[in-house]
Structures are given as C-alpha cells and as structure tokens.
C-alpha cells in the first residue's frame, strides 16, 4: 500500500513538473509576442508619420518627389527608426502605383526573441506599409487655429482626452511648437495638420492619432469679410446705457428671461435659477459675459458678439472675457438667419481676451469665432456640433471633451493630406 502511494506521489510530481514546463513555455511565448507587437506598433507610427509628411511635399513647386522622399526619410528618423541599422529596412516609393499624388513608406525590422529559440524561433520580421496621398477637396476642420505665430497655437495638457469626431484640426502657426501635447490624455481626430514652416512637440503618455502632418499652405480666415452687428439700444433689463456702461448682474434662485440687444458694460449670471435667452443678437459692449452659477442657461437661435463701448473704452466699457464658470448646462443653438447664419460666439478681432470654458455644462452647436483670442477649455462638458475658428486653442484639466464637427462655413486653403492605404 505504501509503495503504491509513493508511486502515485512520484507520478504527481512528474505531472506537476511537466505542467510547469508548459506554463513557463507559454509565458515565454506571450512575452516574445508582446515584444513583437510593440516593435510593430513603433514602426507603424513611424511609417504613418513619414508617409503623411512626405505627401505634404508632393504639391511643392520644383521637385516635389525629391522633397517628399527626403522628408519621409527625415520623419522616419525623427520617430526613432535608424535606417542604417542592419536589422531595419526602410523604403520610400513615390509615385506609388503610378499615382504622383501618393507616397508609400515600408519599414521592416527583425525582432529577436528572448525565449523563442527554445522552440526554434530566433527572430521574426515585423513589416508595415503606410500610403498617404493628396486628396482633392477641402478638409473638414472642426478646429482652425488662425494665429500665424501663436506659440503654441494648439496646446493640450493634463489627463483629459480630447476627441474631435468626424473632423480635423488645422494650425496656421509657424512656431516650432505649433502643436504642443503633454500629459496622459489622448488626442484623436480625423486629421491633424499644421503649416509646414512650424513643427510639433508630443510628450507624456497620452496617444495622438493620427500623427500630425505638415501642409504647404495656411488656411484663410473664412469669416474675415463678415461685417459685425452694430451697437444699438440697450437690451430690455440692461443696467448699462451707451452714456453710462454698467455690468448687468442677474442672480438668485428664481428663473429669469433675458432679451437680445446691447448690454453696455456686459452681462453676468450667477445663482441657481434657470435663465432663458430669447432668440436674437446679444452684443456685449464692454464687460464681456460671465455664465456662472448652478442654473441652466438655454437659448435657441442666439448669437453673442463680444466687443467694447467705443465711447467709453475704459472701465465697464472696456474689452473683457466671455466665461463659462458654472455647473449648470449651457445649451445654445446658433443664429439661423443671414448674414450671420450659424454664428454662436463672435469676438471683435481687437479683443484679445481669452474665452474661458471652465464649467461642466454643455454647448450644443454653432461657430466660435475668436480670430485673435485663445479658446481655453478646462471644463468637463461635451461641446456638440461646432466649428472653432480661433487665434489659439488650449485644452487642460482632467475632464474629457468631445467636439463633433459641423460645417457652418467652408474653410479654404491648404490641401487635404490623408493616409489612403
């Protein structure tokens, strides 16, 4: 009996040893597979960036093909790939498949396995192909940064994710950090373009998808010829007049209604009461606008123009910000009629005060037109169907933000550069 027990114990030890061998082998293969996938992801990023950068040169005067090839190789190296490494092969082809508007970048790299030799696999080849091209037609830019020398023109930091749904980003700046991305938040859009005399900087652990790509032309300000509304009679309920600008402050817990017209000295809302904005055009002649408190602010068919009181350009009549600082929802739809169809927020180009969204409410649709000012978003509310046409753009903080593109005006200039294969 004792011999049988000892014999069975011996068999159990053998089975345990075999099981451990199998488990260790599987873990080793998983580790090697992880190494392979990581290496392939790295060369994928480099190939995509190189193809997009090279495609941007295909429209250049002179030898666009020469410039495209050299630029693509430069971007391969900028993304950590050494073409001189004997284990790495880089190939750039343009025209690609006979199309002079396409460029292909192929990168292959031998990945050595640490545990694979146990099962007879010493090395595996990781290979990727990225094809980019010049696509006819305008891009669907949800965020356009107009500032030629804004540095950075576009900035994202913190842990928040920024998602541009169905639209892209275009940055006119020639700064070497035209786009600056830090922190752990992700940045996602259909395209991310910057003027090719500038550059970009990406740090932190957050992903950027797709890789920013240069384009050969800035975009034009699509609204530069629009004529702003003229100052008029004080709005009903305005505390200020043209002769004596004064901030209109609405507070308390009761619900209120505000009316279109000119607010000489600006408008401030606080408290817990809901506020309804009647349809029409609201002009802030100095003092800006502060939407705070916990009450909801709702307005259909509204437009806000933020300027100063030219007859009293200091004090209450001076230029000031528009700010969203409250926790209540902000739900506005834009002015529907010509000549301002689609406009929601418009800031005088002489007003360089930041537009600050730090609250947690939502804005649902319309154009934000701040040609010389920065749009600074640190709040957590989603912003719906919009176009941001601004001097600078900054997203900070921990609140995720989703922006959904809606074309209210066509943005012309630049060229469409996309991954096409």
Which DSSP string corresponds to 195-264? ETTS-EEE-SS--EES--EEESSPBP-TTTTPPPPPP-SBPTT-S--SSS---EEE-SSS-EEE-SEEEE
Mean pLDDT of 344-356: 97
Question: Degrees (nearest 5) of the Cα angle 361, 363, 365?
Answer: 165
Question: Both 223 and 342 in a single domain?
Answer: yes
* Host domain of residue 242: 156-419
Decide if 227 is inside a domain: yes
pTM for this one?
Answer: 0.74
- Kindly state whether residue 146 falls inside one of the protein's structural domains: no
Domain count, the chain: 2
Whether 247 and 127 map to the same domain: the answer is: no
Tokens of 109: 């790299």
Gap between the Cα atoms of 348 and 241, Å rounded: 20
Residue 175 · residue 197 · CB < 8 Å: no
Does some domain include residue 148? no
Exposure string over 18-51, b if 16+ CB within 10 A, otherwise e: eeeeeeeeeebbeebeebbeebbebbebbbbbbb
Domain membership of residue 384 (yes or no) is yes
The verdict on 235 and 281 lying in the same domain is: yes
Do 190 and 308 lie in one domain? The reply is yes
pLDDT at 377 over 50: yes
Question: Same structural domain for residues 203 and 121?
Answer: no
Tens digit of pLDDT for each residue in 163-202? 998 889 999 999 999 999 999 999 999 889 999 889 999 9
Q: Per-residue confidence at 252, pLDDT binned at 50, 70, 90?
A: very high
335 and 293 housed in the same domain: yes
In this structure, is residue 305 part of a structural domain? yes
Considering the domain architecture, whether residues 241 and 96 belong to the same structural domain is answered as no
Q: List the single range of 158-172, 308-322, 376-390 with lowest mean pLDDT.
A: 376-390
* Average pLDDT score, the chain: 87
Q: What is the model's pLDDT at position 138?
A: 62
Residue 252 lies in a domain: yes
Range of lowest pLDDT (10-14, 344-348, 354-358): 10-14
Highest mean pLDDT among 259-268, 378-387, 391-400: 259-268
Q: Which of 79, 104, 135 is at the close of a domain?
A: 135
Across residues 34-47, what is the average pLDDT? 86
* Omega of the bond leading into 84 within 30 degrees of 0 (cis): no
- Assess if residue 160 is contained within a domain: yes
pLDDT tens string 217-242: 889 999 999 999 999 999 999 999 99
Cβ count near 104 (within 10 Å): 25
216 and 353 in a single domain? The answer is yes
250 and 115 within one domain = no
242 lies in the same domain as 160: yes
* Percent of the residues in the chain that have a pLDDT greater than 70, as a whole number: 86
The residue out of 135, 168, 197 marking a domain boundary is: 135
Any domain includes 413: yes
The pLDDT of 101-112, averaged and rounded, is 90
Co-location of 99 and 173 in the same domain: no
What pLDDT, on a 0 to 100 scale, did the predictor assign at position 6?
A: 47
Q: How many residues does the chain have?
A: 421
Domain co-membership, 384 together with 236: yes
Of 135, 169, 184, which residue sits at a domain end? Answer: 135
């Amino acid at each position: 009996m004792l011999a049988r027990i000892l014999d069975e114990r011996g068999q159990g030890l053998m089975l345990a040893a075999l099981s451990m061998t199998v488990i260790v082998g599987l873990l080793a293969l998983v580790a090697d597979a992880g190494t392979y996938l990581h290496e392939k992801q790295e060369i994928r990023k480099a190939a995509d960036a190189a193809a997009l950068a090279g495609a941007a040169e295909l429209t250049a005067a002179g030898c666009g093909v020469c410039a495209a090839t050299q630029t693509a190789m430069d971007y391969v190296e900028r993304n950590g790939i050494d073409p001189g490494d004997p284990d790495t092969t880089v190939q750039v082809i343009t025209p690609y498949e006979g199309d002079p508007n396409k460029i292909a970048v192929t990168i292959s790299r031998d990945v050595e396995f640490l545990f694979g030799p146990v099962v007879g696999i010493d090395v595996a080849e990781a290979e990727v192909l990225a094809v980019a091209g010049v696509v006819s037609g305008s891009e669907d830019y949800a965020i356009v940064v107009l500032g030629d020398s804004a540095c950075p023109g576009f900035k994202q930091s913190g842990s928040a994710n920024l998602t541009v749904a169905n639209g892209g980003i275009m940055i006119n700046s020639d700064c070497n950090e035209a786009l600056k991305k830090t922190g752990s938040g992700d940045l996602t859009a259909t395209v991310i373009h910057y003027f090719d005399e500038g550059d970009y900087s990406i740090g932190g652990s957050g992903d950027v998808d797709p890789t920013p790509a240069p384009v050969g032309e800035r975009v034009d300000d699509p609204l530069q010829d629009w004529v702003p509304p003229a100052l008029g009679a004080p709005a009903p309920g305005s505390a200020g007049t043209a002769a004596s600008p004064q901030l209109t402050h609405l507070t308390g817990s009761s619900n209120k209604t505000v009316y279109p017209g000119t607010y000489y000295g600006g408008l401030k809302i606080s408290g817990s009461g809901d506020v309804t904005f009647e349809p029409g055009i609201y002009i802030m002649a100095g003092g800006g606008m502060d939407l705070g408190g916990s009450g909801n602010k709702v307005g259909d068919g509204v437009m806000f123009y933020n300027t100063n009181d030219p007859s009293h350009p200091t004090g209450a009549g001076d230029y000031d910000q528009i700010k969203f600082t409250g926790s209540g929802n902000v739900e506005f739809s834009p002015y529907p009629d010509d000549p301002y169809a689609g406009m929601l927020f418009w800031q005088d180009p002489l007003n360089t005060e930041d537009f600050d969204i730090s609250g947690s409410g939502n804005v649902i649709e319309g154009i934000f037109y701040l040609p010389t000012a920065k749009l600074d978003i640190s709040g957590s509310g989603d912003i719906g169907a919009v176009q941001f046409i601004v001097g600078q753009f900054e997203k900070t903080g921990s609140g995720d933000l989703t922006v959904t593109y809606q074309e209210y005006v066509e943005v012309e200039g630049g060229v469409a550069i996309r991954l096409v294969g």
